[in-house]
Every structure is written in structure tokens, then in C-alpha cells.
Amino acid sequence: MQILIVDDDDIALDLLDSALRGAGYTDLTTAMSGAEALAIVEATETPFDVFLLDIQMPGIDGIELCSRLRAMPEYESVPIIMITAMQERHYIEQAFAAGAMDYINKPFDPIELGVRIGIASRLSRQAHRVEEYATEAAILKARTGVGASFAADEPITIRDVPRVIGMTAMENYLLRLNYWMTINSKSVVFSVVGFRLIHAQTSPSDLYDVLSDTACAIANGLKHTKHLVTYVGDGKFVAVVNGRNATLDADTLLAIQSELDQCPPILSSGLEYPVQLNMGAVYTPSILSVPNRLNLLLGPQQLAPGTNQPRERKPTAA
Amino acid sequence: MNDISNAQTTIGASVQNLRERFIDRAYHQAQELDHLLGQLEADPSDQAARASVTSIVHKISGVAKTLGFERLGILAHEAECDLIAQGNQTTADTTVIAFEKVEVLIEELDSVIAS
């Protein structure tokens, strides 16, 4: 497994190198700047399997480097782990929003680092298998016209929408929040009404477009907050917002729904597909409640519909 | 368990070597921080000097604890948080407040070097 470690501090770089070699990872490349890292990535013949990036670096910092790597097709799904002394929520959020999958604080435990890289490596192998499957599916589609499908409850990753991250990344983000960060968060679940019907009626690529447009509307509706959103399957999106005073109410849903009504997803047939959303109860941890965990946010109370009543919608001509 | 003990042995040998390099570097960092604080005392609006201080403190904060310099790591982290929280406030008063912890950090660096 090829690992690229990027840190502008030579001692930190050697420490990380030693820790990983001690854990049995020997195929390591180091870089002392974002620019050097990008040059290495562009020149390498064998793609890297995992990236370890420091955040605070002069020039191209770790966050920007992460974004640039994610923009490369071959590194869309590769695990990127930020490792930094910056514990403030702002940096954690930025890192995950830029596409990081995990976040480790310095000073790090060398043994823990090895374990986390192991987990990242398994995810990397899964990502390669998905890519191979996608290639096979593309070949199949070209021959038969039938594309790869995904199950209604499958938590696919919505790409290309700012601040919408994968479910694994969201799980790791929530785990990285300390007690006070968690107390100062709010979470809510948005549900696409009649999703199972939409899943049954549309092709996989159209369904992805519906979910992507919905994610975009949700992210736009929350744009005045510091937020991250993830898709968890079954037409459900979980939004985590920073700040107990952040507004998450019926007006939020109204703004999101308004955008979806004005610009509904357009299917490959040219028809518009109206989407209606419900918003669950806003979850605000109390001092005595358990910290945020993604599975807790999907409990019955959080999934309960808000004021909107569900009604079936059909595609209409654009 | 063999894997873990092997990893610990390998890391242990490297850490000792890195500790020596860290102490060597700490000598120069302490001098540089002292010099930069002098510059900032003369001109609290010197953003380049402020950025340099933050960068040095960040580097110390990132590795000190892992290398066994726990108190130094804690002081560096606190100083870094103060520097970031101060942001662009550049009055003489706020500079003094923000850099008090850097001065404490310099004292600890001197202590680590001396020991």
C-alpha cells in the first residue's frame, strides 16, 4: 500500500514515517509542502492508496491540497486523513468539507495511527473494488443499455456538492467532536417523500441526479450556517450544524423546498421530477445526553415528519 | 502482541534520535521566538513576525508531546490557541496578552535544552 505523507515540519514527517514503518507500512513517500505533494502525485506511475496531510502548511495548505486531490478522478474515493495539532472545530469542519475521511490530532499515538491507517487501507481496497465494478458496469451498460443500480437503502456518496460528505466521513467527523463541540451542535434529518417510489420509477443515473439536486438544495438552504450533510440511504439526508443558536426550523425547510420547486431535478427524458422533503425533529444534545452519533440521529423522533404532509408527485414536462 | 511490541521497539529507537534533533532545533527556535517577540513589541502590527511566531509554536505543538516533552507540548498548544484567537488584533495591550504564553513557552524551551 502506497502512502503519501505531507508535513512542512521535517521532525513531524520523520516521526510519522517511523510510526508507520513500525506498524509495518514500508511503501512510504514524504513531501514537505502541498506543491511538492502535487508534483509527486502527478509524476507517480502507481497511484497512492492513502494520504496523510498536515493542515497548517505555508503555500498550499492541507485543506486546499485535500480539495485538489479529491478533484482528481483517481483520488475521488481514496482515504485522506488529516493529521494536525489544530483541534478547533473550524479546522475539523473544513477538513471534512474538503473531502477528508478522517482526522487525527497531534500529538498522535503511534500505535493508534497504525490502526487507523489499517482501517483506511481496507476502505481503500473497497474503493478500488467499487471502481472496478463501476468499470464493468459501464461496459455492461454500453452493451445492454442497463446501468448499475443501487439499492434504495444504500448510502451512496453524493459528489460535487460542497459540504456534502460521505457517510464514513460524517461518522468520523462526529467522533472527532469533543464534548463541547457536540453540545454546540444541532442535527436534523431531511427525508425525500415517497423515495421508494422514486427509486422504483427512475434509472440509477436519474436517481443519482435527483439525490444530488436535493443535496444541493439542502446545502444551499443551510448556507448561512456552518454545516455538513451526508446521505444515509432511503432518501434521507442528515445535516449537522455548528452552533446552538443556528436556525433550523420550518423556514429552513421552506427555503430548501422552494429551491427544489423552482429548479426540480430534470430526468434524462427531459421531464422535471418534483421532489418533496420532510424535515424531522431538530436534535440538540443536552448537557446530560449522549454525544452525537450518526445512528442516534436516525431514531424515530428525528425521522418524524415536520409540518408538511406527504403527497405523491409525478414527473412533468420541463 | 508481537506486532505491537515490534512496532513499539522500532518507534522507540526512532523517537530517541528525533528527541535529539528536536532539542537541537528547540535551541534555535527559542532564540528566534525571543527575537520575534522583540520585533512585535516594537511593532505590534508586524504580521510577518506574528505569522512566524505562530508557525514556530505550531511546529513545537505538533511533536513535543509525542516525543515525551509533555509540558512543552501543552504550553505550545495553549500559546498557539491564544495566537489564533487573537487574530488580527494588534494593539500593544492585546499583543502583550497574546504573547505572555509564548514567553512562558520560551522559558520551558530553555529548560528542556538545559536538561
Model confidence over B24-55: pLDDT tens digits? 999 999 999 999 999 988 888 888 998 899 88
* Preferred mutation among B66, B84, B86 to probe A, highest tally of A CBs within 10 A: B66
CB–CB contact B11 A18 (8 Å): yes
CB–CB contact A11 B22 (8 Å): yes
> Residue A18 is nearest to which of B10, B62, B81, comparing CB atoms?
B10
ipTM for the whole complex: 0.83
CB–CB contact A108 B66 (8 Å): yes
**Partners of residue A23 in chain B, C-beta under 8 Å:** 3, 7
Determine the residue of chain B that is closest to A83 in CA distance: B62
Determine the residue of chain B that is closest to A14 in CA distance: B18
Q: Mind telling me how many Å the CA of A23 is from chain B's nearest CA? A: 5
CB–CB contact A23 B7 (8 Å): yes
Determine the residue of chain B that is closest to A84 in CA distance: B62
Model confidence over A38-72: pLDDT tens digits? 999 999 999 999 999 999 888 999 999 999 999 99
Q: What is the pLDDT of residue A171?
A: 87
Q: What is the pLDDT of residue A222?
A: 92
Mean pLDDT across the stretch B5-23? 77
Q: How far is residue A317 CA from its own chain's centroid? A: 33
Q: What is the pLDDT of residue A89?
A: 73
Model confidence over A94-146: pLDDT tens digits? 899 999 998 888 877 777 888 888 887 777 676 666 666 666 665 555 544 44
**pTM score of the predicted model:** 0.78
pLDDT category at B101 given cuts 50, 70, 90 is: confident
Spell out, as residue ranges, where chain A has pLDDT lower than 70: 86-87, 124, 126-148, 286-318
CB–CB contact A108 B55 (8 Å): no
Q: Mind telling me how many Å the CA of B69 is from chain A's nearest CA? A: 11
Q: Mind telling me how many Å the CA of B43 is from chain A's nearest CA? A: 23
CB–CB contact A85 B77 (8 Å): yes
CB–CB contact B25 A107 (8 Å): no
